[in-house]
Amino acid sequence: MSICRSLTLLLIALISLLSLPVMAQEDDPGKALLVNLAEAPASKVEEAVNAIVSSGDERARGWLEAYGNNRLSRVKDT
């Protein structure tokens, strides 16, 4: 196998691996939970919090602690 072909295969493998986290973020169900919390009117905040708690997501505790301490913020996509 030539060096050019080996380098090409390595480059393809690296590009494939680097694109995986981007795809995972797009399909993140946690994002929908947090958007629901951010956009919930005051009367629906309890429902949004309960949805996060019942989701079983391992990040839920950190999200809710941040929300309770007014440290949860939303950054617009650019």
Distance, CA of 47 to CA of 30 (rounded, Å): 15
pLDDT of 22 strictly over 60: no
Distance, CA of 30 to CA of 20 (rounded, Å): 17
Q: Domains in the chain: how many in total?
A: 1
Contact 61, 54 (CB under 8 A): no
Distance, CA of 14 to CA of 36 (rounded, Å): 35
For residue 55, the enclosing domain spans: 3-68
Dump pLDDT digits (tens) for 26-68: 678 888 899 899 889 999 999 999 999 999 899 999 999 999 9
74 is a domain residue: no
Contact 30, 57 (CB under 8 A): yes
pLDDT of 1 strictly over 70: no
